[in-house]
Amino acid sequence: MSPEQPPPVRALLRRSVLATSVLDDLDVDLDDDGVRLPGCSPLEWSDLARTAAGADEDVARLRVGELLHAHRELHRDGARTVPLAIPVGADRHPAYGWPHVPQLGGALDLGLGVVVRTGTGDRARERTVPVPVGSARATGRSPRLGEVDLARLEDIGALVARRLVRDAGSRGLGAGDGVLRPVAGCDVPTLLASATLREHLVAGPDRTVGNVLRAIAVPDRTRGWFDLTRIDPAYVGAAWMATDAADRGFRRPVLVTRSEVALAPTSPRLVEDVLAD
């Protein structure tokens, strides 16, 4: 292993790789130079060190595991890349090596993800993880979002908006009631990066000009509620704590406008306070 990593970091990275291998049944080969997966270009230890950079053991294991899965998937024919937005400061947000664009409001970073299948048996599932810049380059792919990716995100946002209108009509719900769910590999935080969906959430199907924001609870990346009975900060925080780190969304409600996604202030009168400003 490269002398650039101190012995404690070397040990942490090795444990993280071995844990992923055992828990996710991932075939890996470790040596002093790096990590090798069957049919893939080698990963250097410095690649793993950059993604884990300064994290504690649980967070490092999560980030290293996602990097290994992304690296393997990107070497497969037909690997599916999609837009991916990750809450700023989330455990699953790589420290380095994931090109992204900060979104207005300061709550989200938007980059490129790849859909992978993790776990085995009853634990098997699909999820989207960040595309590591080194893995993308090794497979001749761009590590950055392109215009096609951004256009696709807006198409998906429009699809979600149509579904919300349809569901509200079929269930007799009001415009302020509803649940957001992942679509086409895009989890709920990623959906909020769509300007088309934000416009619908804020203005509603009738495009009400006077509406300026919507409070949304997204403690879990697979669910987002804009039913006002679920936008209690204590509820959101408890749900976030009870969620596995790999699936966490936002610890607090987010305030969505047509152009921004921002964490709500900690005041219990969060919506009133923002409107007063």
Q: Which of 149, 150, 183 is nearest to 164 (CA)?
A: 183
The top-scoring range by mean pLDDT among 122-136, 164-178, 259-273 is: 122-136
pLDDT band at 109 (very low <50, low <70, confident <90, very high): very high
Q: Mind listing the pLDDT tens digit for each residue in 15-65?
A: 999 999 998 889 999 998 999 999 999 999 999 999 998 889 999 999 999
Encode pLDDT of 111-138 as tens digits.
Answer: 999 999 876 667 778 899 999 999 999 9
Would you place residue 160 in the very low, low, confident or very high pLDDT band (cuts 50, 70, 90)?
very high
Chain-centroid distance of CA 9 in Å reads 26
What is the domain partition of the chain in residue ranges? 7-138, 147-276
Among candidates 94, 83, 108, 111, which has minimal Cα distance to 216? 108
- Pairing label, strands 179-180, 223-225: antiparallel
Chain center to CA of 165: 25
pTM for this model (two decimals): 0.88
Q: Provide the pLDDT confidence category of residue 275 given band limits of 50, 70 and 90.
A: very low
Query: Model confidence over 247-263: pLDDT tens digits?
Result: 999 999 999 999 999 99
